[in-house]
Amino acid sequence: MAGDMTELISVEAEPYEFVFDPRHTALLVIDMQRDFVEPGGFGEQLGNDVSRLRRVVEPLQGVLGAMRAAGFLVIHTREGHRPDLADCPPTKIARGRLSCGIGDVGPMGRILVRGSYGHDIIDDLKPEDGEPVLDKPGKGAFFATDLDFMLHNRAITSLVVTGVTTEVCVTTTVREANDRGYECLVLEDCVGSYFPEFHEYALRMIKAQGGIFGWVTSAGNLLSAIERAAPSRR
């Protein structure tokens, strides 16, 4: 936790400023795996142009660096399944009628299977020692995982949410988090989609109606706010 920052931090955001206690806030990096971001993985097997997701890497590196330096808890997630696929619904395997789908061997190993090269997080955003890496079988990060328990144990009440894809795993996680009482700040340039229009509307759905699911801002706005709170640390 960012234990020695004792004051609340206010970030310019939509629909209005996001105020958080740095001691009770974590950075969530969702599914920045080769399977979604690099050619040959699950994302491409689904018919997507995976290069569209690269734009999040650089701003996310900046946020990771600053939040690590300021002492925030960082949690990474990975979507994927046990090698025996016992935790994968048959409906998920069948969906899309893919010629090379979940559990099949692709250019980066077995698609969306834990332990394969493609399932792991990209080198540019590699987790550091001590940062929890949470394996999740679903789109949401709370479903069938111990994320809620982990956050409870660290007294986390607010989440800075990043990763891919905006309208699938990010949105599902934000909705699940919101129902559990967490306040979510989504960084628009650190979340990405294969579909620009879905990205835009997913963010609009989060911040509409007074922030029905949470808040949206940019990496730059968040970094400025953290820098104001802890200027000597960067």
Contact footprint for ligand TIU (CB under 6 A): 31, 36, 46, 79, 139, 164-165, 168-169
Of 35, 88, 139, 169, catalytic: 169
Burial 105-114 (b: 16+ CB within 10 A, else e): ebebbbbbbb
Nearest distance from C-beta of residue 21 to ligand TIU, angstroms: 28
Check if 207 is active-site.
no
Nearest distance from C-beta of residue 43 to ligand TIU, angstroms: 6
- The closest alpha carbon to 74, from 140, 30, 116, belongs to 30
Nearer to ligand TIU, 43 or 59 (CB): 43
Nearer to ligand TIU, 36 or 142 (CB): 36
Nearer to ligand TIU, 74 or 111 (CB): 111
Per the listing, tokens 């995976």 go with 50
Nearest distance from C-beta of residue 178 to ligand TIU, angstroms: 17
| DSSP secondary structure of 28-40 | EEE--BHHHHSTT
* Cα separation of the two ends of the chain: 16
Of 35, 88, 120, 136, catalytic: 136
Residues 111 and 81: their CA atoms lie apart, in Å, by: 9
Burial 40-76 (b: 16+ CB within 10 A, else e): bbbbbbeebebebbeebeebbeebbebbeebebbbbb
Nearest distance from C-beta of residue 36 to ligand TIU, angstroms: 6
Q: Is 195 exposed, middle or buried (0-12, 13-18, 19+ CB in 10 A)?
A: middle
Check if 31 is active-site.
yes
Check if 100 is active-site.
no
Nearer to ligand TIU, 73 or 164 (CB): 164
By beta carbon distance, the residue nearest ligand TIU is 169
Q: Catalytic residues, which ones?
A: 31, 136, 169
